[in-house]
Structure 1
């Protein structure tokens, strides 16, 4: 988790550069959610409300700012629009159109679930941009039984890969996906697969219930049973490694959910 700096603690030169885009800032509301930003706040300004997030230019994750800036133009209606970028005085900050609403509720009877299906369906229709993105196989290569399985995750789709419900904002009847720092290129069904794990962890779905929602995303049909088994197993191994000996509350939920889904998938193959 990145240590937090308040907006008011930013160098005056940075705040002045931001005001060249926003006009006078009337109020600053700090944002506590999100783990990957050193600065996160809502700015209420002459030019309209903005969500600003950023990192010091020398931070080890500074490259994620470039990733978000490059992928945003291809995500119209899927991600809040990037309005400006300010770099200087040791900081790299992004200003997004502020989307109000609530974080998606992943519980089984939630009215948000069809909106997330629609969101993932719209994302599945995005053409792969000609920008640098990490490959899905690269990210999972340490957790598969054999390198020969990595082709199962290859593809040209733009993927979010972190379907944490806090990364999905519901504004009326429209869902948006935020925090594209880990945008990836790969098979089009992978985000629906990541969603299965989060539905189980955050929404307390059974594997069958979670997959019943993933099946409503058209790209899910492109996943073979072998691909799903390999993906579920790779994620179970990844979360077990992340959790270590004493995982925190949320990590332990993800460790358990990914393990249960992997076992479910392995049992289906055996039938």
Structure 2
């Protein structure tokens, strides 16, 4: 089937999709070895897959699989999985949602929905499966152990909040691409939307006084481990948006 990686991949997903008739690749979002909407005899599914190879990124897909039951209905449901250690591929099939990327910029009509969605993430609680996923990727931005401690906590962090990962549709708002959820502190979420919005004309950052060391020292990272995303990759809560002050012109 044109659009699928190979015949072995097609064999692995066939029990879940039936014969595949169409494959539609998204315009952006390339953190997976394969990502597309697959239409088959048994329905339409958003399919993500990783090669099961040494040094690969399969752990991120396994985390996404593990966290999915605990982030419902914020996230599209995982419908099926295929492949495994002996198959060369690890494949997840999600329900297909219809919507568009949200907009974070000044004056966007999406901001209220984004704030509500981020508050819902913050209110999810930390599931048992995530308690060992401690956040330490941002320690390099701290200048001391006490500053690094600000990243610690018992909050579930999405860790890649950006306009493309908050989808707004007629049926609701979803948070997608839970490829590296972690356990961290809410303060580690503060700069994401603020640093994006502050790059727009007419906005300035007004970060909380007890915010992150990186933010306080003017060293907010503009990129992170998610190489496909041009946005900061901290998770964030409503604090991010409430910390934006708007100025004329």
1:51 matched to 2:34? The reply is no
TM-score by length of 1: 0.73
Is the Cα–Cα contact under 8 Å of residues 106 and 203 in structure 2 kept in the other structure? no
CA RMSD of aligned residues (A): 2.8
Cα separation, 2, equivalents of 1:78 and 1:167:
11
Partner of 1:216: none
Shift of 1:229: 4.3
1:21 matched to 2:16? The reply is yes
Distance 1:155 1:240, change over 3 A: closer
Unaligned runs of 5+ in 1: 1-5, 212-223, 243-249, 255-264, 266-271
Trace 1:154-233 onto structure 2 (pairs within 5 A).
154-172=152-170, 174-201=172-199, 206-208=203-205, 225-226=209-210, 228-233=211-216
Deviations along 1:101-120, whole A, 9 cap, x unmatched? Answer: 11111221211111111110
Shift of 1:237: 5.6
Shift of 1:207: 2.7
Shift of 1:17: 2.5
Is the Cα–Cα contact under 8 Å of residues 190 and 212 in structure 2 kept in the other structure? no
1:69 matched to 2:65? The reply is yes
Shift of 1:140: 1.4
Structure with the bigger percentage of helix: 1
Is the Cα–Cα contact under 8 Å of residues 78 and 177 in structure 1 kept in the other structure? yes
Deviations along 1:48-106, whole A, 9 cap, x unmatched? Answer: 32111111101521111111111111000111111111115311111111111111112
Trace 1:1-271 onto structure 2 (pairs within 5 A).
7-10=3-6, 12-58=7-53, 60-88=56-84, 89-132=87-130, 133-136=132-135, 138-172=136-170, 174-201=172-199, 206-208=203-205, 225-226=209-210, 228-233=211-216, 236=219, 238-239=221-222
In terms of mean alpha carbon deviation, does 173-182 or 49-58 score higher?
Answer: 173-182
Is the Cα–Cα contact under 8 Å of residues 7 and 39 in structure 1 kept in the other structure? no
Cα separation, 1, equivalents of 2:137 and 2:76:
26
Is the Cα–Cα contact under 8 Å of residues 120 and 191 in structure 1 kept in the other structure? no
**Partner-residue secondary structure (3-state), 2:29:** coil
Is the Cα–Cα contact under 8 Å of residues 79 and 95 in structure 2 kept in the other structure? yes
